[in-house]
């Protein structure tokens, strides 16, 4: 099928590449000409395992194209997928301006009957408005239907999550739209759950917010474990055997980040408020996560007289391993606090440094400074204190003895519980973690 995809971020580009991989003819649309040229050369603009290989493969087959010419891409497309961003507004609501721009372009450009599919995460009821907006703006006498098809990929495993999804959610208001989406996804060979549009929109928020709740719950229990002398890892192990709970998302740490959970929890909270309802569970989740992000900094602040002039090793910048994304990453808030306190930061991350430099240019910043290094051991050399913010394998591979050998003061605040308490104690490291 001839498919156009609006937006080449995590959602749009991964979807477009995977559609091409299963045999569709796909054109990915972006406003950035330089980005288009990079993608045409087979280079991915985002750090995502396996994506670049599939781009090169499907560029070569001629099934995958890139353009800034939205008019030609949309004119004869049988289906147009919208995968642009819906960033958080100051009040927590979703910014739908990028969706609206694409809708205008579609209305101006389509020349044949077409199915418009919204993959972006949008508030419940948005697809109704999208359909009406496009119909109001159409320049030709064509039939447009709008469907909801939320994505459930995780950064770092996005390609696998798309090609091997547990299920595909589609939300439609007609048998014709349902049939076309079924046809598009038939080559994937995956279970398809077909519901009404508003239910599909809510499924996305309900899933993401439930996972965020699970993380915040475990972090809340971890904080209590510290006070009563229990070990959160023992607790999580005992919980994991209960099939009603499961074993995933039970790791305690310094909270969630990224482009989805923080935004989607706030958006659902805002939606509930708009409808006169108080979503207390999600509100608590947001509050717990906000406090959790600076937990390690506050522990260290209680221990230290000052950070002024100290060498501070920061291991891990991205919000999780396997991605270069720093959006809502715990490291960001902690780096800001450390710089305000006059710390000289030496930061390591195998993927996130280029993006980190956009927020924290190398050199002096206020009272402190930041230097980026290529090896975690270089960050640790003669450091007074170390913070671990991301669970990268390269950081996990640093042996406990290395902290003792390299650091001026072997003082480690581990926000990801990468090390055992006994092994760090035996190595002579003063070690603080979450919930243990």
E-assigned strands of 160-301?
168-171, 192-195
Q: Which of 416, 388, 400 is nearest to 315 (CA)?
A: 388
Element (H, E) at 224: helix 197-228
Q: What are phi and psi of 343, to 5 degrees?
A: -75, 145
**pLDDT tens per residue across span 136-167:** 999 999 999 999 999 998 988 999 999 999 99
Residue tagged 């590449």 (tokens): 17
> How far is it, in rounded angstroms, from Cα 436 to Cα 414?
11
Higher per-residue pLDDT: 91 or 179? 179
CATH number of 203-292: 1.10.1040.10
Query: Is 145 buried (19+), middle (13-18) or exposed (0-12) by CB count in 10 A?
Result: buried
Higher per-residue pLDDT: 88 or 56? 56
Mention the CATH class of domain 2-195: alpha beta
Query: Is 1 buried (19+), middle (13-18) or exposed (0-12) by CB count in 10 A?
Result: middle
> pLDDT tier at 67 (50, 70, 90 boundaries)?
very high
Please report the sign of the dihedral spanned by the C-alpha atoms of residue 355, residue 296, residue 93, residue 15.
positive
**pLDDT tens per residue across span 421-436:** 999 999 999 999 999 9
> How far is it, in rounded angstroms, from Cα 180 to Cα 115?
8
Looking only at the bridges linking them, the beta strands covering 311-315 and 114-118 are unpaired
Q: What topology does CATH give the domain 295-432? A: Rossmann fold (3.40.50)
> How far is it, in rounded angstroms, from Cα 262 to Cα 358?
21
Active site residue: 28, 103, 225, 260, which one?
Answer: 260
**pLDDT higher than 90, residue 394:** yes
Same fold, 2-195 and 295-432: yes
> pLDDT tier at 127 (50, 70, 90 boundaries)?
very high
Domain ranges of the chain: 2-195, 203-292, 295-432
Q: Which of 138, 71, 128 is nearest to 96 (CA)?
A: 128
> How far is it, in rounded angstroms, from Cα 2 to Cα 79?
7
Share of the chain above pLDDT 70, in %: 100
- What pLDDT, on the 0 to 100 scale, is given for residue 173? 98
Q: Which two tokens stand for residue 72?
A: 């030609």
Catalytic-residue membership of 28:
no
């Amino acid at each position: 099928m001839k498919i156009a995809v609006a937006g080449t971020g995590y959602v749009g580009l991964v979807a477009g590449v995977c559609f091409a991989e299963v045999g569709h003819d796909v054109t990915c649309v972006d406003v950035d000409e330089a980005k288009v040229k990079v993608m045409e050369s087979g280079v991915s603009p985002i750090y995502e395992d396996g994506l670049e290989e599939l781009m090169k493969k499907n560029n070569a087959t001629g099934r995958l194209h890139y353009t800034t010419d939205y008019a030609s891409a949309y004119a004869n497309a049988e289906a147009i997928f919208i995968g642009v961003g819906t960033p958080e507004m100051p009040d927590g609501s979703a910014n739908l301006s990028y969706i609206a721009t694409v809708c205008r372009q579609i209305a101006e450009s389509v020349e044949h009957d077409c199915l418009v599919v919204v993959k972006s995460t949008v508030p419940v009821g948005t697809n109704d408005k999208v359909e009406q907006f496009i119909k109001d703006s159409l320049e030709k006498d064509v039939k447009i239907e709008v469907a909801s098809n939320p994505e459930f990929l995780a950064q770092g495993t996005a390609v696998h999550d798309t090609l091997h999804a547990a299920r595909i959610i589609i939300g439609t208001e007609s048998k014709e739209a349902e049939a076309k989406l079924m046809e598009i996804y038939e080559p994937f060979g995956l279970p398809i759950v077909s519901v009404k549009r508003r239910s599909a929109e809510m499924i996305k928020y309900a899933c993401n917010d439930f996972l965020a709740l699970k993380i915040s719950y475990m972090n809340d229990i971890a904080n209590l474990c510290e006070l009563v002398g229990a070990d959160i890892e023992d607790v999580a192990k005992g919980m994991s055997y209960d099939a009603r709970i499961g074993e995933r998302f039970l790791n305690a740490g310094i909270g969630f980040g990224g482009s989805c959970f923080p935004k989607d929890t706030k958006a659902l909270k805002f939606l509930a408020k708009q409808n006169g309802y108080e979503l207390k569970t999600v509100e608590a989740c947001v509050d717990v996560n906000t406090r959790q992000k600076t937990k390690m900094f506050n522990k260290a602040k209680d221990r230290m007289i000052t950070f002024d002039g100290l060498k501070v090793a920061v291991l891990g910048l991205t919000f999780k391993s396997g991605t270069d994304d720093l959006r809502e990453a715990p490291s960001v808030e902690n780096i800001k606090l450390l710089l305000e306190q006059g710390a000289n930061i030496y930061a390591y991350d195998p993927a996130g440094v280029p993006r980190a430099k956009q927020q924290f240019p190398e050199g002096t910043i206020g009272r402190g400074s930041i230097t980026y290094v290529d090896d975690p051991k270089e960050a640790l050399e003669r450091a007074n204190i170390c913070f671990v913010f991301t669970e990268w394998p390269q950081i996990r591979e640093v042996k406990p003895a290395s902290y003792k050998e390299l650091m001026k003061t072997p003082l480690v605040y581990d926000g990801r519980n990468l090390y055992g308490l006994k092994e760090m104690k035996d190595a002579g490291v003063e070690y603080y973690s979450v919930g243990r």
